Amino acid sequence: MRRPLRGLAALLTSAAVGLAVVPAAPASAAPGATSPTPVAGGQTSGDSLFDAYGNTGYDVRHYGIALAYAKNGSIRATTTVEARAARALSSFSLDLEGLSVDRVRVDGRTAAFRRDGTKLVVTPARPAKGRFTVTVRYHGRPVTHTDPDGSQDGWVPSTTGATALNEPVGAQTWYPNNNTPRDKASFDVALTVPKKLAAASNGVLRSRRTKDGQTTWRWRQRRPMATYLSMVAIGRFDVYRSTVELRHGRKIPAWTFVQPSLGSAKAQRSLLPKVLRFSEKQYGRYPFDAAGMVIQDLGVGYALETQTRPFFDGVPDEATLVHEYAHQWSATRSPRRTGATSGSTRASPPTRRRTGPLSTVARRPGRRSRRSTPRTRPRARVPSCGHPRPPR
């Protein structure tokens, strides 16, 4: 959950509540069904609040992103999307905001494409059937997405680079995707940056190689991840690599990226193993194979539970660190239907198992502190995203 930095100690009692989303509109046919006539994929997930985002007709299995960042703030990138079609598709769409598309291929063949607002509509040379692969080559200066409440997400320039924070819909500002939390996928992200800069993303750092003044950082997130939990942070950072021992002796690597002007964040880095072991007592085994943090003075005014490597806009206190890591357990749970009238879904929150020394900032998900939210307080109404409804 995107969390403002003011008054966090009181607000963190809902630490592990998952992001509320809504169910995708049903695809044209159930997965595995066959039809002699190809159909066009849908250009909306059916979300009543974010109806301009997400697509139907296919399920993404994997994203492969190769992105080169230049000193002038522009990027050149290729994203490969591995997906499975619910039935033969004569066309389908991806979410992409801004940027210039150079070429699209489907299963190695050049495909026709057009832009329709924030949709990249692809018409393959042959209908996409079963498992298929889409490769999109593109370039430009990514935009920053402004939400109805004025907050910023997506690609946010910094003093030495840029950071991409994607809740709720910012992922489409830097790579084409199916921008709905219901379609999770694994990720491989290769970031090529000037050698004096560092480049963070989700998961495990597979390699880091420098050639001709450019360094490529290769990250892998093998567990399925929603697009809003993906991230990159490019800039001047001090990078700290450590090994965290979890409960029952399991060890995982941790990479923490700290803006030099904020110090070394030694206290926060030392606290991380304690937070993870405490959270395992509450919610069960830590679901990922890496951890860490990005600590930066970006000016967005919130912290975010980006998968395996939460982002903090400034050096976090203990409560904030516990809060964002509690979300890691919710990230692995698929949204479920919660009611026919609202049509909303919610990631099933983890179940608190035991109490511990940090229980005051990691209470059972769904229970609010009396100081932060009185029981009589009415539920807030969430406005529509404000974008025009796409064709269904």
Residue 347 pLDDT: 43
Residue 358 pLDDT: 52
Tell me whether residue 75 is exposed, middle or buried, using C-beta atoms within 10 angstroms of its C-beta: 0 to 12, 13 to 18, 19 or more.
buried
Residue 35 pLDDT: 54
* Structural domains for the chain: 3-361 (2.60.40.1730)
In tens digits, what is the pLDDT along the chain, a chain of 392 residues?
A: 666 654 433 333 344 334 334 444 444 445 555 556 999 999 998 887 888 899 999 999 999 999 999 999 999 999 999 999 999 999 999 999 999 999 999 999 999 999 999 999 999 999 999 999 999 999 999 999 999 889 999 999 999 999 999 999 999 999 999 999 999 999 999 999 999 999 999 999 999 999 999 999 999 999 999 999 999 999 999 999 999 999 999 999 999 999 999 999 999 999 999 999 999 999 999 999 999 999 999 999 999 999 999 999 999 999 999 999 999 998 767 554 332 222 333 344 454 443 344 544 443 333 333 333 333 333 334 344 444 444 44
- Chain position carrying tokens 């750092």: 205
Residue 360 pLDDT: 43
| Cβ neighbours of residue 58 closer than 8 Å, sequence gap 6 or more | 27, 41, 83, 84, 85, 86, 89, 92, 128, 132, 178
- Chain position carrying tokens 């304690």: 274
Residue 4 pLDDT: 61
Question: pTM score, two decimals?
Answer: 0.81
Residue 151 and residue 157: Cα distance in Å, rounded? Answer: 14
Closest CA to 136 of 104, 113, 110: 104
| Cβ neighbours of residue 152 closer than 8 Å, sequence gap 6 or more | 144, 145, 146, 300
Residue 334 pLDDT: 59
Give the Cβ contact number of residue 299 at 10 Å: 11
Residue 21 pLDDT: 40
Residue 364 pLDDT: 37
| Inter-axis angle of helices 318-330 and 266-283, nearest 10 | 40
Residue 335 pLDDT: 59
